[in-house]
Structure 1
Amino acid sequence: MVPKRDETYEEPLHKKKQDSNPSYSSLPDEIILNVFARVSRSNYPRLALVCKNFRSLILSSDLNVTRFHLKTQEILVHVYLQFPDSDRPSLFTLWIKPGHTLTNQLGKNEKPTGNIRLVQIPSYFSYTPMQSVAVGSEWYGISQGDTPSSTIWVLSKDIYGSFWRKASNMTVAREKPLACALDGKLYVIGGCTAKRSTNWGEVFDPRTQTWEPLPDPRPEQRFSSIRKLECWIDKVLYRCNKHRCSWYNRKCKQWRVVKGFTMMNWDGNIGMIEVANYGGKLLILWDKSTYDDKPGYKDIWCAVISLKRHVRPEIDEVEGNIEWADIVHKVPNSYVFVRSVLNEV
């Protein structure tokens, strides 16, 4: 005979404690995605190491959709660096340490704080950044992955929200091409073996949904490195080089110097310059020769500058304020800065 259980019986304390602390991985995916979407993407590399399910959710498109609906999207800065011991450029992401105040390190012994770094994307992250280009009222996306692709994406909207759909394919598969908009058309150049001049570039007309080849430039231009050193912020065009940052006054039809950049201290040791629109602010990447204990290397710097335009009857100028600047990576002198790509995801 099995004795009746005493109604006053209590579970052991250690068992109660175990049952009251279930694993986070046992939660429904919808709840985990909702939590991840509210966390800075800077935490994702560590979260991806917790378990396979976390890694799968972080890599899924569902997370991007959740962030879109919760309006928690962030701007990601991707940088391609070419090293002499590699056949392909390496993809890095600008990583900002969560919970730390960013400071301006210019003129402070030029030592990196470690709060901002260019971190190489681990091999298990299969996310492929896209270059987004506005053509009229539509946005087009061009893959910036290592695998050549002819696919073009266009951002569409319906009653359920925004989503990417495929547009008419390019005539040539391209690897990390450059793209821009002009007169309501999409221009794409580079990213393929230009054995034939027709491969160099092509233009897409959204009205006819057709592609046409671009006229062939001279061979030295076709194979040269094409770089973008300008960006638009609040309908103002900015341009940076080794000497200054300027903005274009459309009313006067002249370039004017952005005030407040004396602390940048760009001199003859400055090499690469890259500028981008970072959420309405100016993001600048540049490299500079270093004279520390590692000769033959350069430091890659990154700075974010807020911009304020002063328009008065007697003056029209733009003033820049360096919000933060820091060394984000050390590279050998023989490296090549390929390009940067910004995405809001």
Structure 2
Amino acid sequence: MKTKMKMKTKMCGLWSLPEEVAMKCLALPQISRADLAALAIASKEHRSLIVSPDYRLLRFQMRCLEPNIYVWLHILPEPTPQWFILNPVHRRLKPIHLKPDKAPPESSSAFVLRSFGVFVIGGLVNGKPTSDVSFFDCFDHTWHPLPPMKMPRASASANMINRKMYVLGGCGDVADSSNWAEVFDLDTQTWEFLSVTSSTTMKIPLSIQQSVLMRQKNEVYAVGEDGQSFSFSPSDKSISNGVADSKPGYRTEWCWIGGFLFCGSTRGKILWCSPYELNWTEVKGLDELSEYDISQICRKSEKTKNIVAFWNSSSLGSDTLELWSAEISLELRHPHELWGKIEWSGPVFKLDPLSHSYGIKLLYAASIYA
């Protein structure tokens, strides 16, 4: 009579510990994202633990997630943009290969950072506004579709306040006080229109050029297509006039750093101002950038006041188009005098001269913890 031998697998290493303890060990700040990737390749068990929502939440709560610069580029004439991550060691943009259910917008989307990802709201698809909304998870690099907005929107403003996402403008000539704004509740996963009132005689702006969330007052400060600034208060659903821009002209998306607003401009200028004043002043000490137009700036991380700037550049004597980046540290030497020091600069992406690509359009850049 044959007897069946039952083989027992001896547990060792992390798997000899309770799952809760093993998870906390892997969530320690000493464990880098590269280490986690190596573990995921080496062991299916480790991978299943690392990609679990519980592990991600634990690492987020322990503040062990690492800041990475994510960039959304449109390589023309490709039909759709693509996500890249800025490698902190090689200082090059590494493409993230995704297969979304549908093509993402080509441009004019609004973006909202949330924990370890970013919401992409509206935008243009085949030249027409879309109501699509998606969440790009920067931890496992996946797209997650969300319920669409009630109105197709492009060049709108979007900001998150108390687990609600407020989207303003971008719905064209059909906009009125009843549909100009809508709000998405993260808990119920539903959209609702907001009936907006004006505390002044100002006209509702159709498109939003810039916007930023002023956290002290939990209100949105923005600039319409005519250059006039305004504020929106979700608490009373009202908009009111703001101050006029002291130096109207080309501006990149506003960036909130250390209590000040920052933006990029032409001839390598990075501008800053105090909130609600829009009295823009140039960051001094950046003369070597004067040949370029800054296309985007973002904060390097929450722990530093350094900023990262991007711009397009053509190599000398070559038709090759490159995307350059610079990390800039900031120093306030006087209440009205801010100096910048370029800690590093160089090309982070280069178009292949043998390809059919002819342009690089940077749509969005942000530091995201993942």
Normalising by structure 1, we get a TM-score of 0.59
SS of the residue 2:364 aligns to: strand
The one-letter amino acid of 2:360's match is Y
2:96 corresponds to = 121
Pick one of 324, 330, 335 that aligns with 2:350: 330
- Computing the radius of gyration from Cα coordinates, the structure with the larger value is 1
By how many angstroms is 1:339 displaced? 1.6
By how many angstroms is 1:45 displaced? 4.3
Question: 8 Å contact 1:42–1:96 — kept in the other structure?
Answer: no
What pairs up with 1:89-168 in 2 under 5 angstroms? 89-97=81-89, 115-123=90-98, 131-132=112-113, 143-144=119-120, 149-150=132-133
1:186 corresponds to = 166
Against the structure 1 CA distance between its residues 229 and 196, is the aligned structure 2 distance closer, same or farther, given a 3 Å change threshold? closer
Alignment partners' CA distance in 2, 1:89 and 1:26: 45
Question: 8 Å contact 1:297–1:333 — kept in the other structure?
Answer: no
| Structure 1 residue 237 corresponds to structure 2 residue 217 | no
The one-letter amino acid of 1:71's match is R
**Any idea what the Cα deviations from partners look like across 1:285-331, whole Å, max 9, x if unmatched?**
12211247xx44322222222212123xxx63111122232322213
The one-letter amino acid of 1:276's match is C
**Any idea what the Cα deviations from partners look like across 1:136-159, whole Å, max 9, x if unmatched?**
xxx9x862399975589xxxxxxx
Alignment partners' CA distance in 2, 1:144 and 1:185: 12
What pairs up with 1:204-283 in 2 under 5 angstroms? 204=182, 210-212=192-194, 217=206, 228-243=252-267, 244-249=269-274, 254-263=279-288, 265-267=289-291, 270=292, 273-278=295-300, 279=302, 280-283=305-308
Alignment partners' CA distance in 1, 2:259 and 2:309: 18
Against the structure 1 CA distance between its residues 325 and 61, is the aligned structure 2 distance closer, same or farther, given a 3 Å change threshold? farther
2:42 corresponds to = 50
Against the structure 1 CA distance between its residues 31 and 339, is the aligned structure 2 distance closer, same or farther, given a 3 Å change threshold? same
Question: 8 Å contact 1:272–1:337 — kept in the other structure?
Answer: no
SS of the residue 2:295 aligns to: strand
Question: 8 Å contact 1:227–1:339 — kept in the other structure?
Answer: no
SS of the residue 1:116 aligns to: coil
2:53 corresponds to = 61
| Structure 1 residue 321 corresponds to structure 2 residue 341 | yes
Alignment partners' CA distance in 2, 1:241 and 1:333: 23
Question: 8 Å contact 1:82–1:337 — kept in the other structure?
Answer: yes
Question: 8 Å contact 1:131–1:142 — kept in the other structure?
Answer: yes
Question: 8 Å contact 2:39–2:46 — kept in the other structure?
Answer: yes
Alignment partners' CA distance in 2, 1:66 and 1:125: 27
Q: What is the count of residue pairs matched by the alignment?
A: 269
**Any idea what the Cα deviations from partners look like across 1:189-213, whole Å, max 9, x if unmatched?**
56xxx798459x8424799x94248
Alignment partners' CA distance in 1, 2:155 and 2:255: 19
Question: 8 Å contact 1:168–1:210 — kept in the other structure?
Answer: no
Question: 8 Å contact 2:169–2:206 — kept in the other structure?
Answer: no
Alignment partners' CA distance in 2, 1:25 and 1:85: 49
Normalising by structure 2, we get a TM-score of 0.56
Question: 8 Å contact 2:296–2:362 — kept in the other structure?
Answer: no
Question: 8 Å contact 1:239–1:247 — kept in the other structure?
Answer: yes
CA RMSD of aligned residues (A): 4.8
Question: 8 Å contact 1:79–1:340 — kept in the other structure?
Answer: yes
The one-letter amino acid of 1:81's match is L
Alignment partners' CA distance in 1, 2:264 and 2:327: 13
Question: 8 Å contact 2:307–2:327 — kept in the other structure?
Answer: yes
Question: 8 Å contact 1:81–1:336 — kept in the other structure?
Answer: yes
By how many angstroms is 1:48 displaced? 3.5
Specify every segment of 5 or more residues in structure 1 that has no aligned partner in the other structure, as ranges.
Answer: 1-18, 98-114, 134-138, 153-166
Specify every segment of 5 or more residues in structure 2 that has no aligned partner in the other structure, as ranges.
Answer: 1-9, 102-110, 123-129, 136-145, 186-190, 197-203, 208-223, 226-249, 352-356
Against the structure 1 CA distance between its residues 96 and 212, is the aligned structure 2 distance closer, same or farther, given a 3 Å change threshold? same
Question: 8 Å contact 2:310–2:323 — kept in the other structure?
Answer: yes
By how many angstroms is 1:340 displaced? 1.9
The one-letter amino acid of 2:312's match is D
Alignment partners' CA distance in 2, 1:52 and 1:123: 22
1:340 corresponds to = 365
Against the structure 1 CA distance between its residues 121 and 150, is the aligned structure 2 distance closer, same or farther, given a 3 Å change threshold? closer
Question: 8 Å contact 2:75–2:360 — kept in the other structure?
Answer: yes
Against the structure 1 CA distance between its residues 92 and 188, is the aligned structure 2 distance closer, same or farther, given a 3 Å change threshold? farther
| Structure 1 residue 203 corresponds to structure 2 residue 226 | no
